[in-house]
Structure 1
Amino acid sequence: MGLLSDIVSMIGKKLGGDSQQSSLMEQVFAIINNPQTGGLPGLIEKFQNNGLGDIVSSWIGTGANQPVSADQISNTLGTESINKIAGKVGVSPNHISESLASILPQLIDKLTPEGKVPDGSILEKGLSALAGKYLNR
């Protein structure tokens, strides 16, 4: 199964509706691809700065992924960001935090298959291409 299929499957398990699934997919890509926060490396740094370095390192490494709670996701990304995503997707902020707590460990694990964070520009181009294909952009 390819990366896109894995991502769609992960998100599909969290949300039943196609429009919600598509909206959440778009928001997940935006989080990983956000140049203002430094893309994936910046997101990883946010987790590290919030005292979750061991957890995020497990997602990057080749071993088992340590879990993260919805509260930890909300604290790391910020309540304002979670509320904004929830408004765009059309679900509760708690649902977004829970979904991201499930999705992000698996997604970051898949984006770092050899235990290394890929170069930001390569990752950005790849994710943009995947988003364009899936979201019909």
Structure 2
Amino acid sequence: MSFLNDLLGAAQGNQGGGSNLVAIAGQLIDKAGGVQGLVSMLQQHGLGDAVQSWVGTGANQQISGEQLGQALQNGGLGSVLQEAAGKMGVDQGQLLGQLSQMLPHAVDHLTPDGQVPAQGQGGFDLGSLASLAGKLLGGNNAA
């Protein structure tokens, strides 16, 4: 029953989990070399069409946690995922399931004009992601 409660709490985006998820998304973007680096890495590892939909101005294509995990592992970010899952007290599969729901919105939010910001030209702002989390999770998360 505890496992089910944990899943339900994560799915509802409780404040602590939502804040942690934003921080993890930010860390992944940072470690990948910014929005441009993350987009490029995910495209190189089989998620090209989905990622392009996140950047573009149309609807965001969904991906599974398994697809995201495979792309991030292949892109060299497996240790970030493992550490983040440990800090949150969830298994990596649960974390990836949550990230696969949030990351499309995060990339979409960070590319508002349908263009990936050039490397080194900002584009990544944790405060911006925190405001997105507030919208997505329906809460007032302070960053």
Task: Report the TM-score, using the length of structure 2 for normalisation.
Answer: 0.71
1:7 maps to none
For residues 23-71 of structure 1, the C-alpha deviation after alignment (integer angstroms, 9 at most, x for no partner) is 222111111223xx21111111111111211110010001111111111
Say if 1:33 and 1:127, in contact at 8 Å, map to a contact too: no
Distance 1:106 1:129 in 2: 12
1:61 maps to 56
For residues 71-98 of structure 1, the C-alpha deviation after alignment (integer angstroms, 9 at most, x for no partner) is 1110111143322210122222111110
More moved, 99-108 vs 71-80: 71-80
Q: State yes or no: 1:104 paired with 2:103.
A: yes
Which ranges in structure 2 are unaligned for 5 or more consecutive residues?
A: 1-9, 131-140
Higher RCO (CA 8 Å, separation ≥ 6 residues): 2
1:26 maps to 23
Task: Report the TM-score, using the length of structure 1 for normalisation.
Answer: 0.74
1:50 maps to 45
Distance 1:115 1:129 in 2: 16
Compared CA separation, residues 25 and 71, structure 1 to 2 (3 A) = same
Distance 2:129 2:95 in 1: 22
Q: State yes or no: 1:118 paired with 2:117.
A: yes
Structure holding more helix per residue: 1
Distance 1:116 1:96 in 2: 27
RMSD: 2.3
Taking only the aligned residue pairs, the percentage that are identical comes to: 36
1:134 maps to 142
1:3 maps to none
Say if 1:58 and 1:65, in contact at 8 Å, map to a contact too: yes
Distance 2:50 2:82 in 1: 24
Which ranges in structure 1 are unaligned for 5 or more consecutive residues?
A: 1-11
2:133 maps to none
Compared CA separation, residues 130 and 74, structure 1 to 2 (3 A) = closer
2:72 maps to 77
